[in-house]
Amino acid sequence: MRILVVEDNHRLNHSLTSSLIHEGYSVDSAYDGQEGQDLAELTPYDLIILDILLPGKDGLEVCRDLRRRRVQIPILLLTARDSIDDRVQGLDYGADDYLVKPFAMRELLARLRALLRRQHSSRQGQLVMGSLVINPITHTTEREEQPIDLTPKEFALLEYFMYHPNQVVTREMIEQHIWNYDFECESNVIDVYIRRLRRKIDNPFAVKLLTTVRGIGYRLQSPPEQG
């Protein structure tokens, strides 16, 4: 999952970015409202963390303008203001959730997971395809009740496939959602990760889930029904 952090406090921005990367997210950072809005309009992020008090253009204006431009990416507002009127205004401008500073990182991560679940309609925190089960909360994976050890990037790739079951996912879509702007994606890096993922979630099992759509991309395909 790819997240945009828009926060002008460099120390907090860096702390949030580092924590999110540690959790397996791909993260881009912006330090003022206009930069954040420009990135949000250009990139298909899965979620935006948006501070309200930003230089130039504040977070409420950014939120309102993104919604007016029909950008429907979930937005979590951050602010030091904790009055009910401030919270109502933020939600009325199109935000999906609201977190008051100072906050615990655990709460922020829980709110992100809740927004992502709401966006993709997953149930009980787990994503399931046949005997393959992943849990975005605990970052665990299993198939046929056997645990599978994935690196953070492998897990992020599989999670993206699981959020788009039975759909063709192009190489460009993978690159946009799994890597950030600072990463120079080599020509074969996606192929390498696909091979690693297949080796772990498919090769040891009779039914194969991850297929190649020649010339287009890849598909995580539901297993045929038994009957």
- Shared-domain flag, residues 170 and 210: yes
The pLDDT of residue 138: 81
The pLDDT of residue 185: 58
Q: Which of 120, 151, 181 is the last residue of a domain?
A: 120
| pLDDT < 50 positions in the chain | 122-123, 227
The pLDDT of residue 126: 81
CATH of the domain at 213: 1.10.10.10
The pLDDT of residue 183: 61
Give the CA dihedral 148, 45, 119, 93, nearest 10 degrees: 150
Query: Across all residues in the chain, what is the average pLDDT?
Result: 88
The pLDDT of residue 134: 92
| Distances from the Cα of 88 to the Cα of 50, 164, 191, angstroms | 16, 33, 46
CB contact set of 86 (below 8 Å; sequence gap of 6+): 52, 79
The pLDDT of residue 184: 61
Query: What's the token pair of residue 141?
Result: 């994976």
Residue 59: Cβ-neighbour burial (10 angstroms; 0-12, 13-18, 19+):
buried
Domain extent for 19: 2-120
The pLDDT of residue 32: 95
Q: Quick check: 9 and 31 in contact, CB under 8 A? A: no
Q: Would 174 be classed as within a structural domain?
A: yes
- Shared-domain flag, residues 103 and 142: no
- Shared-domain flag, residues 19 and 96: yes
The pLDDT of residue 44: 85
Q: Quick check: 199 and 183 in contact, CB under 8 A? A: no
Question: What three-state secondary structure class fits 183?
Answer: coil
Domains identified in the chain, total number: 2
Nearest C-alpha neighbor of 33 from the set 99, 78, 97: 78
The pLDDT of residue 188: 81
> Using CA atoms, how far apart are residues 121 and 127, in angstroms rounded to an integer?
10
- Shared-domain flag, residues 92 and 173: no
- Shared-domain flag, residues 109 and 6: yes
Q: Would 227 be classed as within a structural domain?
A: no
> Using CA atoms, how far apart are residues 197 and 195, in angstroms rounded to an integer?
5
- Shared-domain flag, residues 86 and 132: no
